[in-house]
Amino acid sequence: MTDTSLRRLRYAMVGGGRDAFIGAVHRKAIALDGQAELVAGALSSSAQKARASGCDLGLADARNHGDWRALLDDELKRPPHERIDFVSIVTPNHMHFPVAQAFVEAGFHVVCDKPLVHTRAQAEALVEAVARRGTVFGVTYNYTGYPMVRQAREMVRSGALGELRKIVVEYNQGWLATRLEGEGNKQAAWRSDPAQSGAAGAIGDIGSHAENLVATVTGLAIESLCADLNSLPGRPLDDDASLLLRFEGGARGVLVASQISTGLENDLRLRISGALGTLEWHQERPSELTHLPHDGPKRVYTRGTPWLCESARRASRLPSGHPEGFIEAFANVYGGVIADIRATQSGVPADPLAADYPRVEDGARGVRFIERTVASARSEVKWTAW
């Protein structure tokens, strides 16, 4: 076993070239804690743009590839002291499966953005491969990295809300309220193309975050769902989703995912009500968690304060009142993955509080959620079995 506890890990990135959105966020999040450095990449779908993007980031020529297969081949030839510890996959959705599968099969640890893959069969194959190869696999459901989301999870687990009865989660955006995909916006273009996005639009792009947030905080499993999907004329994938949810144990829920909600930015909100009270969290005010007990006054918990649970305290870098946000939450997911990679490489069990991140199984459940939602929306039957 190699003890990696004293050195920076090495990573490669697939996707995330010039003009890409989320790859740069991943790099900034990883850089925040100085635990890993970018040493290789295949950063774009065009070989020329991939290399130009790698030059911008200071990659050595020999590790700046025009194609992800060349990156993988090159890494496999390198001695262990040069080889990457993990790869981050930040391409459009259709490339997640081939790239993730190949790197896992080659024994590399992987971080992949959501939605994990296109189909349930691909998701199951990936879960199986990760188990067989014993690799670490993180999925960047980054909202789970917010300290106040971790506080909410702890309060639900400790029974502060009593038996859960009602969950309302909404992720509303307005940026696809016009046909941007026809106006040269490449993020809108691939998201509206079934070949690249998969069988779903908004429900895969942001509904998957909402599903994961509910599952992470409540621990409840969806038993059945009833979905209505809609889209602007001429757009082949949904841009607006409304779902009713039934959870095992009897709780009920509502999930809304919309990208045509004009004026709204990244309006992700979660409300969980139990027999003893309600918790509310809003992504655009991420440092606050409101607790509304049934029998007492409302209380607002804030990030960075000493009365939070340990996992929420550990997820914070600054004293209370100094704003932290999206990149820090992303960095917390990476912190969990890196802790798990270090533990795996040194052969010791990971500290569960440190290795706190969404796994390949969470990504696979998200794929099933998307598949079931699309099936429900196409069906005339009111309730679709999970």
Ligand X SMILES: NC(=O)c1ccc[n+]([C@@H]2O[C@H](COP(=O)([O-])OP(=O)(O)OC[C@H]3O[C@@H](n4cnc5c(N)ncnc54)[C@H](O)[C@@H]3O)[C@@H](O)[C@H]2O)c1
Q: For residue 105, give the nearest of 62, 134, 63 by alpha carbon.
A: 134
Please give the Cα distance from 138 to 373 (Å, whole number): 24
Q: What is the rounded distance in angstroms from the CA atom of residue 23 to the CA atom of residue 45?
A: 13
**Centroid of chain to Cα 156:** 21
Beta bridge partner(s), residue 170: 256, 269
- Of the pair 42, 338, the CB lying nearest ligand X is at 42
What minimum distance in Å lies between the beta carbon of 169 and ligand X? 15
Positions touching ligand X (CB under 6 A) are: 14-17, 20-23, 42, 44-45, 68, 90-93, 95, 113-114, 140, 142, 186-187, 190, 205
Query: Residue 146 or 247: which CB sits closer to ligand X?
Result: 146
- Is the CB of 166 or the CB of 368 nearer to ligand X? 368
Work out how close the CB of 189 gets to ligand X at its nearest, in angstroms, rounded to a whole number: 8
Q: Can you tell me which residue has the tokens 């919309």?
A: 258
| Least distance (Å) between residue 208 CB and ligand X | 8
Whole-angstrom distance between the N-terminal and C-terminal Cα of the chain? Answer: 42
The residue among 67 and 223 lying less far from ligand X, judged by its C-beta, is: 67
Q: Cβ of residue 198: shortest distance to ligand X, in angstroms?
A: 9
Residue 212 token pair: 């994961």
As measured in angstroms, the least distance from the Cβ of 23 to ligand X is: 6
Residue nearer to ligand X on the CB measure, 20 or 343: 20
Q: Which is nearer to ligand X, 22 or 30 (CB)?
A: 22
* Cβ at position 76, least distance to ligand X in Å: 18
For ligand X, the closer CB: 118 or 291: 118
CB of 66 to ligand X, least distance (A): 9
CB nearer ligand X, residue 196 or residue 305: 196
Nearer to ligand X, 140 or 373 (CB): 140
CB of 259 vs ligand X, minimal distance in Å: 12
Closest to ligand X by CB, 142 vs 278, is 142
Compute the least distance from the CB of residue 317 to ligand X, in Å. Answer: 19
Q: What is the 3-state secondary structure (H, E, C) of the chain?
A: CCCCCCCCEEEEEEECCCCCCHHHHHHHHHHHCCCEEEEEEECCCCHHHHHHHHHHCCCCHHHECCCHHHHHHHHHHCCCCCCCCEEEEECCHHHHHHHHHHHHHCCCEEEECCCCCCCHHHHHHHHHHHHHHCCCEEECCHHHHCHHHHHHHHHHHCCCCCCEEEEEEEEECCCCCCCHHHHCCHHHHHHCCHHHHCCCCHHHHHHHHHHHHHHHHHCCCEEEEEEEEECCCCCCCCCEEEEEEEECCCCEEEEEEECCCCCCCCEEEEEEEECCEEEEEECCCCCEEEEEECCCCCEEEECCCCCCCHHHHHCCCCCCCCCCCHHHHHHHHHHHHHHHHHHHHHCCCCCCCCCCCCEHHHHHHHHHHHHHHHHHHHCCCCCEEC
